[in-house]
Amino acid sequence: MPSADPHAFASAYREHLSWVLHTVRRLGVGASEQEDVAHDVFSTAWRKLDTYSPERPMRPWLFGIAFRIVSNRKSTRSGSETLDPELDARAGGAARPDEVLEGEVTRSHVLKALDGLPLEQRALFVGHDIEQTPINELAEQLAVPLNTAYSRLRLARQKFQTTFQSLQAGAPS
Amino acid sequence: MTEELEPLSDVLKQALDAERARPPSPDDVLLRLSSRIDATMAAVPAGVAASAGATAGAAGAAGKVGLLLAGLVVGGAGGAVLHAQLAEPVVVERRVEVRVEVPVRVEVPVPAPTPEPPPVSVREAPKAPAVKPPEPPRPRAQLELERLIVEQASSALARGKAAEALAACEEHLRQFPDGQHADERESIAIRALVLVGKKPEAAARAAAFKQRYPDSLFIDLVEGAAQ
């Protein structure tokens, strides 16, 4: 396996910063810990750079690292802790047309519905259905058999859909 | 076996599209995070796990640092507090094996005395140049371990976890009382003491800090905290 170039990584990792922050949030890390966890993801990636093949996309590899770090943290938050209204407001900018608001409500419901999933199912759902990573690659990065990955994803979808639809039904129109 | 997944409903597709379109994180968050990552990359070599398998010569030193790390992770309250972060896979254990550089005492070669006829006098004996051997370098792994502990303390303080920061500072004090980052450790400890309400202890430690590290970059922080 060709080894990754540390200099290339050091100059390229910034393009994944926001994505990693979003990913750890989707995996259930509370707002107060997202930066720390994202830092841990990149620190670990840097230290394990020898395990990365530059011929493959970086994000699935980072996703696997993020999943393991989140799994190891006892302090993974759930529920409303996942949400960060301040960050949402700042990221949305000053102008907040209706479609932006609607998008934020939908995203808020997505995160809440994700909170109802066990981490193993959640990771499959986030990795496959949100990040659109092929399931075989995802199974490899998450170190689960392919059939297990399919089973978990199916369960995750069922639970997610039920929760999400009930949240949407209760949302103001 | 090939399995097929049912296609997602249109409603879910739209919802997940919206989630994928989540706006990027604020610039100040990204800047702060990249600064921390840059600092880590500057302090730690990349892919240290790649060359795992220390040489026999380094094994002793690696074992010694490994014991230090074990003490850090499982020994005492400080180690217990730090465990959650240090236990993250590979970060600690494997890098120690590699980045240990066995300090080499540099001996300046002194020319061997050439056999000569009996010296005429002591004053006429050739003198070796008076070169003082340089200080042996500190093992790199030690420096990185020290830096790691200070980072843990700093990170904990930044998250408002003063007790955790203090435990890390105690660990640093135990292992590196006069380390390269001793002033930073003290500045963190003083601010953490203020946070937990131990202001007299913080003030005493701040006074000692100003006396010992009058030119420290952290002096303003210490003075501000102790007021």
pLDDT tens readout for residues A90-121: 444 444 556 567 788 899 999 999 999 999 99
- The DSSP result for B125-188, as a single string, is S------PPPPPPPPHHHHHHHHHHHHHHHHHHHTT-HHHHHHHHHHHHHH-TT-TTHHHHHHH
From B152, which residue of chain A is nearest by alpha-carbon distance? Answer: A36
Q: What is the pLDDT of residue B131?
A: 56
In whole angstroms, what is the distance from residue B164 CA to residue B190 CA? 13
Residue with tokens 């946070």: B195
In whole angstroms, what is the distance from residue B226 CA to residue B213 CA? 15
Burial of residue B216, with CB atoms counted within 10 A of its CB: 0-12 exposed, 13-18 middle, 19 or more buried: middle
User: Residue B73 — very low, low, confident or very high, per pLDDT cuts 50/70/90?
Assistant: very low
Subunit contact A110:B23, Cβ cutoff 8 A: no
Residues in B touching A164 (Cβ below 8 Å): 11-12, 15
Nearest to B167 by CA among B185, B183, B180: B185
Q: What is the pLDDT of residue B44?
A: 73
Tokens matching residue A101: 């608001």
Nearest to A129 among B16, B47, B90 (CB): B16
Subunit contact A106:B30, Cβ cutoff 8 A: no
Q: What is the pLDDT of residue A143?
A: 92
> Mean per-residue pLDDT for B132-161?
73
Nearest to A129 among B8, B22, B34 (CB): B8
Q: What is the DSSP letter of A82?
A: G
User: Residue B45 — very low, low, confident or very high, per pLDDT cuts 50/70/90?
Assistant: confident
Q: Which residues contact B156 (CB under 8 A, 6 or more apart)?
A: B81, B162, B164, B165, B168, B192
Point out the least confidently predicted range of A13-22, A115-124, A126-135, B35-44: B35-44
Residue with tokens 């701040």: B206
Cβ(A100)–Cβ(A92) below 8 Å: yes
pLDDT in tens, A106-163: 999 999 999 999 999 999 999 999 999 999 999 999 999 999 999 999 999 999 999 9
C-alpha triplet A111, B12, A152: angle, nearest 5°: 70
ipTM value, please give it.
0.82
In angstroms, what separates the C-alpha of A43 from chain B's closest C-alpha? 7
In whole angstroms, what is the distance from residue B8 CA to residue A157 CA? 8
In whole angstroms, what is the distance from residue A156 CA to residue A141 CA? 18
For B:167-226, CB contacts with A below 8 A are: none
Residue B117 burial (CB count, 10 A): 5
To probe the interface with B, which of A34, A43, A168 has the most B CB atoms within 10 Å?
A: A43
In whole angstroms, what is the distance from residue A173 CA to residue B146 CA? 56
Nearest to A107 among B18, B84, B95 (CB): B18
Q: What is the pLDDT of residue A66?
A: 95
What sign does the dihedral B211-B212-B215-B216 (CA atoms) show?
negative
Fill in the amino acid letter for B32. R
pLDDT in tens, B123-138: 444 455 555 565 555 6
Q: What is the pLDDT of residue B169?
A: 92
Q: What is the pLDDT of residue A65?
A: 94
In whole angstroms, what is the distance from residue A151 CA to residue A61 CA? 22
Nearest to B26 by CA among A15, A8, A83, A86: A86
Fill in the amino acid letter for A114. L
